[in-house]
Amino acid sequence: MKVFTVIGARPQFIKAAVVSRAIRETRGDMEEVVVHTGQHYDANMSDVFFDELEIPPPAHNLGIGGGTHGQNTGRMLEKLEELMLIEQPDWVLVYGDTDSTLAGALAASKLHIPVAHVEAGLRSFNRRMPEEINRILADHVSAKLFAPTDLAFDNLRNEGIPREKIEMVGDVMCDAAVFYKRRARKPIWFDNLGLKVNDFVLCTVHRAENTDDPIRMRGIFEGLRKSEAQVVLPLHPRTRGKLKQIGLMLPSNVQAVDPVGYLEMIWLEANCRIVATDSGGVQKEAYFNQKCCVTLREETEWVELVQAGLNEVVGADSEKIAAALRCPREFASRSQFYGDGKAGEKIVSSFFNAEVGAEAVAGGSVQD
């Protein structure tokens, strides 16, 4: 069996590392062809993750990134279709909600190659978000939908997707947190910033809904300033460019650093006081590291964390941001929202079960 894996952005590298490791640990008749679209083309956002997460080097790197959503998706579609025709995979595996996800799912479905979607069923119910459109379309062309939570499962059923296509496997990010936590690495620059463990805010900002809106950007950074907290900001290349474009200077209490690798990010999450982010993945990583989170968006897919009082959604309102960071909530939860840390194994087993089922059906039809 050949699985054609499409990835292109930091969160997908982490998720793919889990499933790729599970593939390598199974019997040897499953081949994985990893294709990197190049959506995150900065070395600090891409190459470092392959190295430290021990992901097999991509068989193909398309080098597509830096354009608009339409430009990126269209170019990816063209190149992925060419590769799928050459590789002739049995399955195409996509992750999450990026332009790479959509391009991989559409290219495969048009070639009648079955698609499997990891992290299926997440919904923000805000269709102004490019990610929301990507995940909905990917779900509705997929033959296998791997749901991370009960709520994600219910979302898929409510949209009319047949029960037999959906599998509740838990969240591969939980697998990653369990596996990589002991490998967390303190950034070499940390001690030079004069920060104390458990006494700083870890902040990330990269979503287009924020970076493309100068009013929201000013609100977020004004909120960080008003909080008077010491803030560490691993600065996404897009955010750096947008700050320069709108002429926005960082507040004096915000210390920008270059993008960090996953192992360094885990250390920062485990040793900060609170997390402020517009990233879906970082919201969960905060939970896995037993830190409360302030979400710099108007909604979140991870509703269960909000309901448990572990995540406060504040948007770009400077007063709400400042108040949430000045008086952070205490982390108090023993719930396991995202599975048992074995999602990767369950995903790989599902492919083998599908293969056995197909063989049985084929065998029956011949005998009949």
* Residue corresponding to tokens 């910033």: 193
Task: For residue 276, list its beta bridge partners.
Answer: 203, 294
Of the candidates 243, 238, 197, the one whose C-alpha atom is nearest the C-alpha of residue 217 is 243
- Other CB atoms closer than 10 Å to residue 24's CB: what's the count? 13
CA 94 to chain CA centroid, nearest Å:
11
Residues paired with residue 204 on neighbouring β-strands, in sequence order: 277
Give 307's strand partners.
Answer: none
The closest alpha carbon to 41, from 85, 10, 19, 3, belongs to 10
Helices and strands in the chain: count of H runs, count of E runs:
15, 13
Helix (H) or strand (E) holding 320, with range, is helix 318-326
DSSP code of 87?
H
Strand order through the sheet with 201-204: 254-257, 231-234, 201-204, 274-277, 293-295, 311-313
CB 165 within 8 A of CB 144: yes
Active site annotation includes 206: yes
Look at the chain and count its residues.
368
Rounded-to-integer distance, Cα 183 and Cα 263, Å: 7
DSSP, res 57: P
Contacts of 269 (CB under 8 A, 6+ apart): 202, 275, 282, 285, 286, 288, 289, 291
CA distances from 9 to 12, 220, 336 (A): 5, 24, 26
CB 37 within 8 A of CB 103: yes
- Residue 58, token pair as written in the block: 């991509």
* Distance of alpha carbon 160 from alpha carbon 224, whole angstroms: 42
Active site residues: 206
